[in-house]
Amino acid sequence: MKILIAYYSKTGSTEKVAETLKQEFEKNGHAVELIKIVPVHKLKASQYKKNGKELALKTPATNIKKFDLILIGTPVWNFCPTPMVLSYLRNLLNVKDKNFALFATCTALPGTTIQRMGSILSTKGGKITASITIRSIFSLNKKKLKAAKTFAEQLS
């Protein structure tokens, strides 16, 4: 399978999960492309529009036509996906009939993070095949990263 993992990470937790997923997929013989979603202007979290509309990204909208599975990851900000991920999702091309798996990292409650991401993709014709939220009050430990490995195994 050709797999895309696109994610935004501010503190590194979501990035650790994305890299763990990548390693696990590659261990199982899949080709993986890892893309970090980066805004053009770095602001404080409270300065971004919550809906992510009109947010300029350094990361171009990815044409996902060549991928069999697309994973999108985000930290949870105020019970929602980050504006960067929302903007990225809105700009994806060739979403119709593609398979998506969503992941989120958070310290407390995930709120409607996965549902909001899924709603954008479903509206564009994408299929949400799986999701996971990894909660960790402090830093990610081996047990939390094992959940990411298990998630990748299930998707393989």
Domain spans of the chain, in order of start: 2-155
Q: Which residues contact 39 (CB under 8 A, 6 or more apart)?
A: 48, 55, 56, 57, 58, 84
Interval 60-113: pLDDT, tens: 777 899 999 999 999 998 888 999 999 999 989 899 999 999 999 998 888 899
Q: How far apart are CA 126 and CA 46, in angstroms?
A: 30
Better-scored residue on pLDDT, 114 or 140: 114
Instruction: Give the DSSP per-residue string, 41-85.
Output: S---GGGS-TT-TT--BSSPPPBGGG-SEEEEEEEEETTEE-HHH
What would the CATH number be for the domain defined by 2-155?
Answer: 3.40.50.360
pTM of the full structure: 0.90
pLDDT of the residue at 110: 85
Question: With contact defined as beta carbons under 8 Å apart, do 140 and 112 qualify?
Answer: no
DSSP state, 18?
H
The mean predicted confidence, pLDDT, of the chain is 89
* CA-closest candidate to residue 22, choices 111, 148, 138, 154: 148
Neighbours of 57 (CB within 10 A): 18
